[in-house]
Amino acid sequence: MDTITKEAQKTNLDTFPINGTDYIEFYVGNAKQAALYYQAAFGFELIAYRGPETGYRDAVSYVLQQGKIRFVLSAALQPDHEIARHVALHGDGVKVLALWVDDARDAYAKATARGAESAFEPYEISDDDGTIVVAGIKTYGETVHTLVERKDYHGVFMPGFTACSSMRKVTPVGLKYVDHCVGNVELGGMNKWVKFYQEILGFKLLITFDDKDISTKYTALMSKVVSNGNGYIKFPINEPAQGLKKSQIEEYLDFYKSAGVQHIAVATDNIIETVDQLRNNGVDFLYVPDNYYEDVLDRVGHIDEDLEDLKRLNILIDRDEDGYLLQIFTKPVQDRPTVFYEIIQRKGARSFGKGNFKALFEAIEREQELRGTL
Ligand code: FE2
């Protein structure tokens, strides 16, 4: 099977309107330290907090923001708390991909009527700044889509959280919004979850990559990308394919212990400045050998940037029929080889860097080899 690239049909009939990503919540072992990492290394501002000091006894949550990206880092204060169980099993990872909707009750009713499994029923939370309605549906692994209705809320994040700010001066690194968010699922699970997004949440299939597109000498995977009605949300779904050695998807599943979020791609308008700052802040990126740059311009043609800058920072380049893109991948950001980040700058291109898959997967294999998991 060959790669199919198909633009989602533009239609007025969006059967599940979503305005965009509301927030991404991580369950972590130590939210206080993780919050400092995201401020110091990734340039996020601390904007809100909930914990015992605000009347919430069992867990703490730190809310961080940069551009339109909002992360929530939550940790348990007692061993029998759900977050503690989740972290013991999965390590630090993404629990919630929250979707911003106009009517959370209606969205929940539609999703469950179409077969979505409920995570929790709709409920209201209020404070002096107004009211929020939330509901939850389950997706792959233990990941949840919280549906957030915030049209009657004017506070900084949600009722129960108090506004706060970073203790130290934070320098933003230019991250603007979540470009896409990738899930790794078990062998055979990709089509099931693509169908879930298509039939329940009204997403369209954008692109299919098979194991001929995404393979090296040793490892392979398959991937399909789905996108919501307005195109703001893109979810690639990966599953492992048969290779000579263990694929990076299998390694992820072995360590995360279930399907889950593999990487979050965040967009910047100036990847050279962003990556320069991230490297200075101590963020670790995958290494791509210098020979990648020897013939890359033959493949991608003219680019506005100085190739020496891209080479120095190890930024990858790819082109499709609409333009080109620049991208780079961090190493995992927690102890287990699970969640990592992609930094992406789109200069017209709407695809995902297919031309870089080989270089990227070889870079991941070098890391797997060091971990003894290839
Ligand atoms: Fe990506």
- What are the φ/ψ torsions at residue 281 (nearest 5 degrees)? -80, -5
- Residue 353's pLDDT band, with cuts at 50, 70 and 90, is confident
State yes or no: pLDDT of 244 exceeds 90. Answer: no
Please check whether residue 12 lies inside any domain of the structure. Answer: no
Pair 142, 258 in one domain: no
Q: What spacing in Å lies between the alpha carbon of 209 and ligand 1's midpoint?
A: 13
The pLDDT score that the predictor gives to residue 12 is: 60
CA angle 152, 156, 157 (to 5 degrees): 75
Pair 203, 113 in one domain: no
**Residue at which a domain ends, from 120, 135, 163:** 163
Q: What spacing in Å lies between the alpha carbon of 180 and ligand 1's midpoint?
A: 7
Pair 211, 147 in one domain: no
The range of the structural domain enclosing residue 42 comes to 20-163
Phi-psi sector, 68: left (phi>0), alpha (psi -120 to 50), beta: alpha
Nearest to 234 by CA among 1, 27, 20: 20
Judged on CB neighbours under 10 Å (0-12, 13-18, 19+), 184 is: buried
Q: What spacing in Å lies between the alpha carbon of 155 and ligand 1's midpoint?
A: 32
Please check whether residue 280 lies inside any domain of the structure. Answer: yes
The pLDDT score that the predictor gives to residue 214 is: 72
Q: What spacing in Å lies between the alpha carbon of 53 and ligand 1's midpoint?
A: 38
Pair 218, 150 in one domain: no
Highest mean pLDDT among 158-167, 245-254, 357-366: 158-167
The pLDDT score that the predictor gives to residue 211 is: 76
State yes or no: pLDDT of 307 exceeds 60. Answer: yes
Which positions ≥6 away from 30 have C-beta within 8 Å? 75
The pLDDT score that the predictor gives to residue 142 is: 98
Q: What is the CATH number of the domain that holds 365?
A: 3.10.180.10
Q: For residue 312, what are its two tokens?
A: 């120095």
Highest mean pLDDT among 1-5, 183-187, 245-249, 352-356: 183-187
* Separation in Å, CA 12 to CA 15, 17, 159, 203, 325: 9, 10, 34, 13, 29
Q: What spacing in Å lies between the alpha carbon of 49 and ligand 1's midpoint?
A: 30
Tally of domains within the chain: 2
310 contacts 272 by C-beta, under 8 angstroms: yes
Pairing status of strand 144-149 against strand 69-76: unpaired
Pair 320, 265 in one domain: yes
Region 100-110 average pLDDT: 97
Pair 187, 304 in one domain: yes
Instruction: Say what the pTM is.
Output: 0.94
Q: What spacing in Å lies between the alpha carbon of 249 and ligand 1's midpoint?
A: 14
Q: What spacing in Å lies between the alpha carbon of 137 and ligand 1's midpoint?
A: 24
Pairing status of strand 260-268 against strand 340-347: parallel
Q: What spacing in Å lies between the alpha carbon of 294 and ligand 1's midpoint?
A: 24
* Sole residue written with tokens 């169980």: 85
As residues whose CB is below 5 A from the ion ligand 1, the structure lists 265, 342
108 contacts 31 by C-beta, under 8 angstroms: no
Q: What spacing in Å lies between the alpha carbon of 352 and ligand 1's midpoint?
A: 6
80 contacts 105 by C-beta, under 8 angstroms: no
Q: What spacing in Å lies between the alpha carbon of 327 and ligand 1's midpoint?
A: 9
Pair 79, 199 in one domain: no
Q: What spacing in Å lies between the alpha carbon of 232 and ligand 1's midpoint?
A: 15
Pair 367, 283 in one domain: yes
Please check whether residue 209 lies inside any domain of the structure. Answer: yes
**Residue at which a domain ends, from 139, 163, 187:** 163
Q: Taking the mean position of all CA atoms in its chain, how far away is CA 73?
A: 14
Q: What spacing in Å lies between the alpha carbon of 236 and ligand 1's midpoint?
A: 8
**Residue at which a domain ends, from 137, 163, 189:** 163
State yes or no: pLDDT of 11 exceeds 70. Answer: no
Q: What spacing in Å lies between the alpha carbon of 341 and ligand 1's midpoint?
A: 8
* d(C-alpha 171, C-alpha 45), whole Å: 8
Please check whether residue 13 lies inside any domain of the structure. Answer: no
